């Protein structure tokens, strides 16, 4: 493996190599080194370099190093801050993007809520990358939020999140990186492998030893996969331990990892495989994993039922298990779901488990405190489902714990909170509804329209009029569609719709 810190002499020798890959690694090693004048060295190297991709990486590295060395400007002029705030409210994407760059450049964490809100409705890759870098300013304070970006479909976002997790460097961060060492996209795979290489041999061995010994199968599964991708001297021995793992998928990955290393000429891996075949060719994997040696295809079961599937390594099985628990006629013990929540890492499954707590028959005194914790979860789907679950089991007059959700950065969470609190706490929900309707963001406006449709209260006709005049055509169309449904039973909405039609005809 490539050590994290190398001498300047070694790096400079590689920088002059004729091999582009060696020069590329030299640039990365220089960036993570403690050499004081590495920016100047990179600038000199940029002039001499001919490879376009390497020149791009050098420019990127110089920019990032300079931004890290630049002092944090906490005393920015108040007028600049007001201008920046207005820029985030702009409708021109170019202005918004420049505001993002400025906030990241000056590490203005106070703008994070606004930037995260914009990202939630634009889903723009550039916005996500900027947010990750700004989240990293506080070290591991926003660790869980950064971790959530690993689920993003865009490789650039995943790679940036991996780079951030490498800087954080705790065990969970590094364990999360290992699962991407075999990613289908070259950029993601290269970033993950680079992060693991940068650990150095000694730290890598200690880290993977902890993963192999982890009680969580997901950690052991990731270790089995990653050990086949990196050139760790003790890798074959660690994979040999995983050959005896209790979880089938871990054993399969360990076996394939040893075969891969053996094919690449690793003598120790080849020796382990030969010993396994000689000593116990049919008994090592009693559930037919060893049939791979005989060329027999092992069929994977397509369905699991009941609580046992909650511990499956397959996400779809766990989701099906949650649904089956909710549908049980005789009720489900809440402790089954609560215990699984303590182990679950997949946000979709967590969200399903959370909302299921509101649908099963259980003691609210046990369930509500658990759900309350998830009102602060970094994933907005989980928070929204926590609001929905609390709504199912807590009477309307006792839902004060949802007040804070009215100020959430996610429109989904705010919308659910409005529906939960509207009947009893009108003053607070009216204020939240108006904030959604007055927001410059389309997604918030659409949420306000959705709430009008769900609440079906004639007192909301003024708010409906405001949305019918919204600058976004999608909001106007959605509101009009909702009012056409409501006008059959609510005269106030019928009048609102008629007045709107007259306005359109007048301006036609």
Kindly tell me the sign of the dihedral angle through the C-alpha atoms of 486, 490, 496, 499: positive
Query: Which residues form the domain of 496?
Result: 407-508
Last residue of a domain, one of 236, 260, 294: 294
Does residue 501 belong to any structural domain of this protein? yes
Classify residue 150: in a domain, yes or no. Answer: no
Do 433 and 387 lie in a common domain?
no
Residue (of 259, 261, 263, 298) closest to 277 by Cα position:
259
How many structural domains compose the chain?
4
Q: Do residues 3 and 30 make contact, with C-beta atoms less than 8 angstroms apart?
A: no
Q: Are residues 443 and 365 in the same domain?
A: no
Instruction: Please give the share of the chain, as a percent, with pLDDT higher than 70.
Output: 86
Q: Answer with the one of 359, 394, 429 that is the final residue of a domain.
A: 394
Q: Which of 30-34, 143-147, 163-167, 304-308 has the lowest mean pLDDT?
A: 304-308
d(CA 76, CA 287): 65
Give the C-alpha distances (Å, rounded to integers) separating 106 from 103, 337, 389. Answer: 5, 44, 40
CB burial readout 91-119, b (16+ within 10 A) else e:
eeeeebbebbebbbbbbbbebbebbbbbb
115 in a structural domain: no
446 and 467 inside one domain: yes
Following CA atoms 375, 377, 378, 379 in sequence, which dihedral angle do they give, to the nearest 10 degrees?
-80
At 411, is the pLDDT very low, low, confident or very high (cuts 50, 70, 90)? very high
Asked if the structure places residue 86 within a domain, the reply is no
Q: How confident is the model at residue 307 (pLDDT cuts 50, 70, 90)?
A: low
* 508 shares a domain with 415: yes
Query: Do residues 260 and 357 share a domain?
Result: no
Q: How far apart are CA 123 and CA 116, in angstroms?
A: 10
Residue 171 lies in a domain: no
Distance between first and last Cα of the chain: 70
DSSP 3-state percent helix, strand, coil across the chain (nearest 5): 70, 0, 30
- What's 423's DSSP letter? T
Q: In this structure, what token pair is assigned to residue 303?
A: 């369905």
Residues 200-231 pLDDT 10s: 766 777 778 878 887 778 778 888 888 888 77
- Answer yes or no: do 262 and 322 share one domain: no
pLDDT grade, residue 437 (50/70/90)? very high
User: Which pLDDT tens digit goes with each residue over 488-500?
Assistant: 889 999 999 999 8
Please tell me the predicted confidence (pLDDT) of residue 253. 85
pLDDT (0 to 100) of residue 286: 34
Pure H helices in 404-472: 411-421, 426-438, 442-455, 461-468
CB-based contacts of 60: which residues, under 8 Å, 6+ apart?
none
My answer on whether 369 and 447 are in the same domain is no
> Are the C-beta atoms of residues 436 and 447 closer than 8 Å to each other?
yes
Q: What is the model's pTM?
A: 0.44
Q: Is residue 103, in this structure, part of any structural domain at all?
A: no
In this structure, are 413 and 501 located in the same domain? yes
Q: Residue 508: what pLDDT?
A: 62
More confidently predicted of 78 and 123: 123
For residues 307-319, one letter each, b for 16 or more C-beta atoms within 10 angstroms of the residue's C-beta and e for the rest, the string is bebbebeeeebbb
Q: Are residues 268 and 319 in the same domain?
A: no
Alpha-helix runs per DSSP H in 3-92:
8-15, 20-32, 38-48, 52-69, 78-88
Q: Which burial class, exposed, middle or buried, applies to 177 when counting CB atoms under 10 A from its CB (0-12, 13-18, 19+)?
A: buried
The answer on 495 and 439 residing in a single domain is yes
Task: Identify whether 183 is part of a domain.
Answer: no
Check which CATH number belongs to the domain holding 250 and give it: 1.25.10.10
Residues 387 and 412 occupy one common structural domain: no
Q: Are residues 343 and 412 in the same domain?
A: no
Residue with tokens 């930037």, as numbered in its chain: 115
Higher pLDDT, 486 or 213: 486
Q: Do the domain assignments include residue 476?
A: yes
Stated length of the chain: 508
Burial class (CB in 10 A: 0-12, 13-18, 19+), 341: middle
**Which range has the worst mean pLDDT, 175-189, 292-306, 351-365?**
292-306
The last residue of one of the domains, among 69, 95, 110, is: 69
The residue behind tokens 């993007």 is: 97
The helix/strand/coil state of 221 is helix
- The whole-number average pLDDT for the span 64-71 is 58
């Amino acid at each position: 493996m490539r050590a994290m810190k190398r001498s300047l002499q070694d790096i400079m020798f590689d920088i002059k190599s004729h091999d582009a890959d060696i020069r590329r690694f030299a640039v990365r090693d220089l960036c993570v080194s403690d050499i004081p004048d590495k920016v100047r060295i990179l600038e000199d190297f940029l002039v001499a370099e001919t490879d376009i991709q390497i020149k791009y990486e050098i420019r990127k590295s110089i920019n990032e190093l300079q931004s890290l060395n630049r002092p944090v400007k906490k005393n920015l002029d108040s007028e600049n801050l007001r201008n920046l705030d207005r820029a985030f409210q702009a409708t021109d994407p170019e202005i918004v993007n420049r505001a993002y760059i400025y906030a990241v450049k000056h590490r203005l964490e106070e703008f994070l809520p606004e930037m995260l809100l914009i990202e939630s409705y634009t889903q723009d890759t550039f916005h996500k990358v900027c947010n990750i870098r700004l989240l990293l300013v506080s070290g591991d304070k926003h660790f869980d939020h950064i971790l959530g970006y690993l689920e993003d479909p865009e490789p650039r976002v995943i790679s940036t999140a991996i780079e951030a997790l490498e800087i954080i460097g705790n065990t969970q961060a590094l364990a999360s990186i290992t699962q991407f060492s075999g990613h289908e996209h070259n950029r993601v795979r290269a970033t993950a492998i680079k992060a693991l290489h940068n650990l150095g041999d000694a730290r890598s061995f200690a880290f993977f030893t902890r993963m192999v010994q982890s009680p969580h199968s997901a950690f052991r599964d990731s270790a089995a996969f990653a050990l086949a991708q990196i050139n760790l001297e003790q890798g074959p021995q660690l994979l040999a331990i995983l050959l005896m793992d209790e979880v089938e998928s871990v054993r399969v990955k360990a076996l394939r990892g040893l075969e891969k290393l053996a094919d690449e000429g690793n003598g120790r891996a080849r020796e382990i495989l030969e010993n396994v075949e000689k000593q116990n060719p049919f008994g090592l994997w009693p559930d037919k994993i060893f049939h791979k040696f005989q060329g027999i295809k092992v069929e994977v079961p397509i369905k699991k039922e009941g609580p046992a599937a909650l511990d499956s390594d397959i996400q779809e099985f766990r989701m099906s298990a949650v649904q089956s628990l909710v549908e049980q006629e005789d009720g489900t013990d809440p402790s089954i779901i609560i215990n699984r929540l303590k182990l679950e890492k997949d946000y979709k499954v967590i969200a399903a488990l959370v909302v299921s707590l509101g649908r099963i028959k259980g003691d609210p005194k046990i369930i509500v405190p658990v759900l309350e914790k998830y009102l602060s979860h970094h994933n907005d789907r989980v928070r929204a489902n926590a609001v929905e679950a609390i709504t199912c089991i807590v009477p309307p007059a006792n839902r004060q714990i949802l007040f804070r959700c009215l100020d959430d950065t996610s429109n989904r969470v705010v919308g659910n909170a409005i529906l939960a609190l509207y009947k009893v706490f009108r003053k607070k929900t009216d204020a939240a509804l108006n904030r959604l309707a007055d927001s410059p963001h389309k997604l918030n406006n659409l949420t306000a329209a959705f709430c009008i449709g769900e609440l079906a209260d004639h007192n909301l006709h003024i708010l409906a009029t405001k949305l019918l005049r919204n600058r976004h055509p999608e909001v106007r169309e959605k509101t009009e569609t909702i009012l056409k449904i409501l006008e059959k039973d609510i005269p106030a909405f019928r009048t609102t719709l008629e007045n709107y039609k007259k306005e359109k005809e007048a301006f036609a």
